[in-house]
Amino acid sequence: MIKNLTSNIILRPATVEDMAGVHALVRELAVYEKAPEQHSATVEDYTRDFLAGVFGSTVAANGEGQIIGMILYYMAYSTWRGKMLYLEDFVVTESYRQYGVGQLLFDEFLRIGRDQGARLVKWQVLDWNEPAIRFYQKNKAIIETEWHNGKIFLMELNPGDKA
């Protein structure tokens, strides 16, 4: 579904041709989060996984068709609640922040979650990212502080290593 929105912003489902633009926005996010060296997935990785249905994405484009924002999400499962739509990344390029593009994308994410029958939506936000935390709180989100995230980078383990 394509929506014409105020300020000539168009939200639309991402296509395979958008993966370079999505990748560039994630690179911008990695720089903002002070971790550009950790962004190792390539445009080819995005393209392959997008085509395989690993994730979905919606992009925001300006009047010239330039991608200026995006959401990237996938279905997950909460053993306590059921179907859950997970927001992996949510980025609006810096020059378009504070103009409501983020709100349009976030509202679209919530709509997609409802349409897909998710019982909840979930995401992460860095504890120092005060603008993002305020945005989520304004949208009545619960920002959890008692949970700690765990992860293992499987590609960095040697065979036989115990994590």
- Which residue's structure tokens are 């929506």? 3
- Dist CA 73 CA 86 (whole Å): 5
CA separation (Å) from 116 to 33, 49, 59, 70, 120? 30, 20, 18, 19, 11
The beta-carbon contacts of 117-120 under 8 Å, at least 24 apart in sequence, are: 117/83, 118/75, 118/83, 118/84, 118/85, 119/78, 119/81, 119/82, 119/83, 119/84, 120/78, 120/81, 120/84, 120/85
Residues annotated as catalytic are 136
